[in-house]
Amino acid sequence: MTNEEALTIFRESGALLEGHFRLTSGLHSPNYFQCARVLQYPRHAELFCRLIADRFRSEGIEVVISPAIGGIVVGQEVARLLGCRAIFAEREEGMMTLRRGFEIKAGERCLAVEDVVTTGGSVKEVIALAQSAGARVMGAAFIVDRSSGRAQFDVPFFAALSMEVVTHQPEACPLCAQGIPVVKPGSRKI
């Protein structure tokens, strides 16, 4: 699938938003990828997640881990396609934590997945959590890489769609300077 084909799916699903957004990273942007709008259609979820699963199929993945909330659907579908377990990490007192009885066994081959990355912070936290449990993190993958490859990881990584989207530090945001209200559509405050 080309980037243009992927963007067409996002546009047709109403998932590529325009306005003034505060991203999970804290950066501001005139664009926002609302992956939930794409993932609400199982055929789209399977299409994007199959690209991820096919990329890591030869790694013998035993568990897929994702950060809540955005990565849960991606993690579940990638795990289904790989025939392995899916778990997710949640923030507890500002730290990614395994709850709900989830565990990672030492030596398990793990894949970290997410819906969208800008800086990669949540994915890096999930990778560190898995490694601290003794997992062998074989890679990281996401539906959308908003950084156009600038987000880097210490494991092999893959994005189904890579696109550079303009971002601004809040104190230097031209949209703020114009008085345009900022919207926070993500799930970080949950």
Read out DSSP for 1-52?
A: --HHHHHHHHHHTT-EEEEEEE-TTS-EEEEEE-HHHHHTSHHHHHHHHHHH
Q: Does any domain span residue 171?
A: no
Q: Does any domain span residue 48?
A: yes
CA–CA gap between residue 155 and residue 112 (Å, rounded)? 10
Tell me what pLDDT residue 188 has: 54
Q: Does any domain span residue 190?
A: no
Count up the domains in the chain and report the number. Answer: 1
Report whether 17 contacts 32 (CB < 8 A): yes
Residue 51 maps to which CATH number?
3.40.50.2020
For 23, left (φ over 0), alpha (ψ -120 to 50), or beta?
Answer: beta
Q: Does any domain span residue 178?
A: no
Tell me what pLDDT residue 187 has: 58
Kindly list the averaged pLDDT for each block of 10 residues, start to end, along the chain of length 190: 89 91 87 91 96 97 95 97 97 90 95 92 95 97 86 93 87 95 71
Q: Does any domain span residue 82?
A: yes
Q: Which two tokens stand for residue 81?
A: 């396609």
Q: Where are the alpha helices (H) located in the chain, listed in sequence order?
A: 3-12, 35-39, 42-56, 72-82, 121-132, 174-177
Range of the domain at 90: 42-166
Q: Does any domain span residue 60?
A: yes
